[in-house]
Structure 1
């Protein structure tokens, strides 16, 4: 309706900030000014599709280990709650003394039977409380994000994804006619890691003071060296948009490789862990059976 009243499309989109973010509105405004709105919208559509594909890959990467862990916990819980007590009852009725391993597993079984739901509720409450505590203040969120960047695998994934998002967003904004400073400030808002978001804002200040883009990003110490080298090459050759797109593609490929390696390691790790736990439970069940046979023969 606002477009029919004579407003631009970018102005009309400002009424729906929850649907159309700052990046979308800025690029539409740039497309309207340059007369290439159709091209800008195509780039935005490609960008949204890529971001959706990345989110899907992340969810799928987390789903498989979660299913394995759920199955493992279900098997272990079933053995502890339903199988072991029956064996132990038969053994104790014959007057035998339970082995140490069996007594430990029975103690765990009793805890799960009598307090399992309370433990589950307590764990949920702890997770919710920690999330609310971290999210209550931006300073806490920033410290949490800084800590995530230090983790070997999680840090590389987070840094790579945010670097790819920055490069792709900046490539789209600059190629659509958005000034570099505006593009940096807009790109900062689409980053999920607060530490890297603040780093981009610091880089924007340095660019405003006359620094080159790659030097400004390098001084923050938050971005991969390969990304900085490619941006520097793009600045020297005058093809910064092309190099930024290549940076985004390279970082996304690295993300996929890291996820593939992590899944390859996690699957046997979960299986081995599940096997060890099940072995302990089976031993705790078999020991009374062997001792029961001994009592019968005596």
Structure 2
């Protein structure tokens, strides 16, 4: 449980923060070890709609980098974590590291202590650290984890860049359309109708849409909100709906193939790290199922795991579920036959990472003109629907 606390140091300085503890007595004992005296403690109630609170990825990257450097230099884990705790600025993560120190002092290993914080350390990260502890290669494992997190951070940055321009253009288009429909069109509507001209179909449609927006303006902000809340609830509590939505994401034009490549690249990279760390193939695949973040691909991985359990080789299992294209399956088959499956998986990850970067660049160059044309067509339709009848009247006036 997480507690908000107020405590006083030996110098009489008041400090506040949050700390994991079993109860208030345990909280007081933990603060004593930190040379603090508990003043008040209150259990934190979690009411988040979006799950547990995590830690920014850059904080985890710094954590892995500094811990890798310290352990490689021969610094004991406890001393390294203590140094890290004093240098971390993120308050929640600093408290998590403080709890890690206390748990390790109580006899737990680093992986066991990290496993008690699933909102911060994923199961993949915990399994990799455990494998590094068992094999005596913890610095190497932490280095690979840091590289993977840096790659994910770069990928997230590229994805944001891809979506930034479409989002900006969509906002501009919606704002301009609403302004024209709610303010300009109603004023022009009276003028056009008073001319006694037979209105063309596109003008009638325009006026009908404008009347709807003026008469039911409150639906504009309310409808997206209701759809989002209801859709989120259904997807969260209905596995069938969640899997259907995940499959739909992969079938989206332009963005769908890019999303699939991103997921498969993450899967291949993580699978390679787990396998290279000595974790069995079936357990590696089962662990990666939790990080793909897509129900459709998760089902495919479950089918591949089932096929491998029944005696199928890795390349054949992935070929049967249609997860990877033939070129990637061939790479997996060669790596499996040569005993270098982890290297083959890293090649697959590199293959997809490079393909993702190229695809993102192509998508950006394609989306910009498409959205510009769409915006121009929409605004052109509105203007022609209004100006068309006026032009017809003017053209019929005697010269």
TM normalised by structure 2 equals 0.68
Contact 1:105–1:281 (Cα < 8 Å) also in 2: yes
* Aligned counterparts of 1:104 and 1:55: Cα–Cα separation in 2: 41
Moved over 4 A (4+): 90-93, 291-298
Contact 2:243–2:295 (Cα < 8 Å) also in 1: yes
User: For this pair of structures, how many residues does the alignment match?
Assistant: 297
Contact 1:196–1:222 (Cα < 8 Å) also in 2: yes
* Aligned counterparts of 1:277 and 1:118: Cα–Cα separation in 2: 21
Q: Which has the higher contact order (CA 8 A, sep 6+)?
A: 1
Contact 2:269–2:345 (Cα < 8 Å) also in 1: yes
After TM superposition, the structure 1 stretch with the greater mean CA deviation from structure 2, 39-48 or 49-58, is: 49-58
Match of 2:142 in 1: 41
Match of 2:368 in 1: 267
Describe the superposition over 1:227-257 as per-residue Cα deviations: whole angstroms up to 9, x where unpaired.
Answer: 2111111122222222211101111222233
Match of 2:166 in 1: 65
Q: Is residue 199 of structure 2 the alignment partner of residue 99 of structure 1?
A: yes
Match of 2:345 in 1: 244
Describe the superposition over 1:152-211 as per-residue Cα deviations: whole angstroms up to 9, x where unpaired.
Answer: 544422332222111100111122222222212111211112222232233233333433
Q: Which runs of 5+ in 2 are unaligned?
A: 1-101
SS in 1 for 2:286: helix
Q: Which of the numbers 196, 210, 223 marks the counterpart of 2:311?
A: 210
* Aligned counterparts of 1:133 and 1:243: Cα–Cα separation in 2: 39
| Deviation, structure 1 residue 292 | 6.4
TM normalised by structure 1 equals 0.88
Say what the alpha-carbon RMSD is for the aligned residues: 2.5
After TM superposition, the structure 1 stretch with the greater mean CA deviation from structure 2, 148-157 or 242-251, is: 148-157
Q: If each structure's strand is expressed as a fraction of its own residues, which one has the higher value?
A: 2
Match of 2:44 in 1: none
Contact 1:161–1:251 (Cα < 8 Å) also in 2: yes
Q: Which of the numbers 96, 103, 126 marks the counterpart of 2:227?
A: 126
The 5-angstrom pairing of residues 94-243 of structure 1 reads 96-97=196-197, 99-100=199-200, 101-151=202-252, 153-243=254-344
| Deviation, structure 1 residue 27 | 0.6
Contact 1:206–1:216 (Cα < 8 Å) also in 2: yes
Tell me: CA distance 1:290–1:142, structure 2 relative to 1, closer, same or farther (3 Å). closer
Q: Which of the numbers 125, 128, 131 marks the counterpart of 1:24?
A: 125
* Aligned counterparts of 1:135 and 1:237: Cα–Cα separation in 2: 43
Q: Is residue 50 of structure 2 the alignment partner of residue 50 of structure 1?
A: no
Tell me: CA distance 1:265–1:207, structure 2 relative to 1, closer, same or farther (3 Å). same
| Deviation, structure 1 residue 80 | 2.4
